[in-house]
Amino acid sequence: MNSKVASDRQSWPKADFSRVPYEVFTDANIYRLENERIFRGPVWNYLCHEVELPQVGSFVTTWVGDTQVVVTRAEDESIHAFENSCAHRGAQLVTAVRGHAKSLTCPYHLWSYSLKGELTGVPLLKGLKGKGGMPASFQKADHGLNVLKVQTHGGLIFGSFHDDPPDLKTFLGPHSLSQIDRLLVQRKPKVLGYLRQRIPGNWKLYNENVRDPYHGSLLHQFQVSFGLQQPTMKGGIKLDTELKNTWNHSILSDTDKDNQALVAQAYEGTGKFNPNMKMADPSLINVPLDLGDGYKTTILSIFPTLIVAQVDNTYAIRHLRPKGTDGVELHITYLGFESDTPEQTHDKLLTANFIGPSGYISLEDGEALRLVQQGIRQRRPGGHEVLEMGGVGPIQDTDYLSQEISIRGFWQYYHQIMGLGNDQPLGETQ
């Protein structure tokens, strides 16, 4: 089995994770292990946001790895989550994406369940006219749905299949906690809309992408051409102690905006930058930042599948739903705030055009991931990614953006939680 290979020194030849074996993106055995050791392992998986369960009986379907999960709000307002599979013979229980119900009834033999996932009704339990029915030993209490542990923080609902998951706040870490507070708690969020995008690339390629501010000013020509992002701008990354969660941030000053000549110099010879390009209607790029703290872009990436992002004035929760080795569904929940004026809501809907499958900015990310997946599928076995931008050795916070150090942090944690062995002190490279 190839995943055996992924655990030896040949596959992970550098202790600082500056080399990553390509097989982690293509090997079906590794994908199976991820579902077992990560999504059913000692992590907290993002499920949905509390505002999506506004009343008793509200439900939402979501995904944890390969497992579809139903999240509900029960009569006592508590939140519950369970596998979307009937306890009888396994039928998918809920087919709607979201909705409202007093109880959940399986379409096949009509077993019904409470909003907490308890089995409450079994038609023909006692049979008819003394014949048939379940044996006396059958107890409804033994046949509830497979539930997940649920915890919430700042309106985000997380679930875990693990018997002994870590404390949620410790799992999130201080930077995540403060960013969740900044983006989702200080103002009460509301959902402006959803987008789903199927990207033909492995789910971890997206995790790399959001931890990689290096590509921002190179791949995303729109940002550079119209002064939203510049290689000169200030910013950096902060990691949690386990290195799995990353907060990237960038601040654009007026000096950066006036730096078009410098940028033209940096792009010289690429044919990719035209300092004279102008938008016929620049209203999209002139929406003022409404948080007032100067951050132009902040991307909070929480292991394994959650991203809470502010891009200019766009606020969105991005959720990764892996679909085998070669695909991922990116589910985007666009947010506004209860306190927004109609103008602010209009502006947020306008800037939502930056993000998503045809977003002026993130259009290219989906395509970049497709190209990587295609490229590595064609390689001869045994190759590695090279992650050296920003420096090799210790994995630590930076006050600059051209770096891939946070990607190495992701891989270190991944390697550890997957039990791939080969753990060495950080910074000791071969």
Contact 155, 315 (CB under 8 A): no
Residue 276 corresponds to which amino acid? Answer: N
Q: Is 404 in the site for Fe ion (CB under 5 A)?
A: no
Please state the closest distance from residue 89 (CB atom) to ligand FES, in A: 4
Q: Is 134 in the site for ligand FES (CB under 6 A)?
A: no
C-alpha to C-alpha distance for 394 and 391, rounded to whole angstroms = 9
Near Fe ion by CB under 5 A: residue from 83, 208, 347, 365: 365
Near ligand FES by CB under 6 A: residue from 9, 89, 188, 198: 89
Please state the closest distance from residue 126 (CB atom) to ligand FES, in A: 16
What is the C-alpha end-to-end distance of the chain, expressed in Å?
Answer: 26
Q: Is 212 in the site for Fe ion (CB under 5 A)?
A: no
Q: Is 111 in the site for ligand FES (CB under 6 A)?
A: yes
C-alpha to C-alpha distance for 397 and 400, rounded to whole angstroms = 9
Pairing of strands 314-322, 79-83: unpaired
Smaller CB distance to ligand FES: residue 108 or 138?
108
Show the tokens assigned to 394: 């210790």
Please state the closest distance from residue 49 (CB atom) to Fe ion, in A: 23
Smaller CB distance to ligand FES: residue 90 or 394?
90
Closest residue by beta carbon to Fe ion: 365
Smaller CB distance to ligand FES: residue 89 or 272?
89
HSE (side-chain half, CA atoms, 13 Å) at 130: 0
C-alpha to C-alpha distance for 122 and 88, rounded to whole angstroms = 10
Q: Is 124 in the site for ligand FES (CB under 6 A)?
A: no
Q: Is 83 in the site for Fe ion (CB under 5 A)?
A: no
Near ligand FES by CB under 6 A: residue from 51, 56, 91, 349: 91
Q: Is 140 in the site for ligand FES (CB under 6 A)?
A: no
Smaller CB distance to ligand FES: residue 85 or 305?
85
Near ligand FES by CB under 6 A: residue from 88, 187, 370, 384: 88
Q: Is 109 in the site for ligand FES (CB under 6 A)?
A: yes
Cis ω before 304 (30° cut-off from 0): yes
Smaller CB distance to ligand FES: residue 89 or 379?
89
Alpha carbon of residue 278 to chain centroid: 34
Please state the closest distance from residue 54 (CB atom) to Fe ion, in A: 32
Contact 284, 226 (CB under 8 A): no
Cβ burial of 388 (10 Å; 0-12, 13-18, 19+) is: middle
Alpha carbon of residue 26 to chain centroid: 20
Q: Which residues, at least 6 apart from 8, have a Cβ–Cβ distance to it below 8 Å?
A: 421, 422
Contact positions vs ligand FES (CB under 6 A): 86, 88-89, 91, 106, 108-109, 111
Contact positions vs Fe ion (CB under 5 A): 365
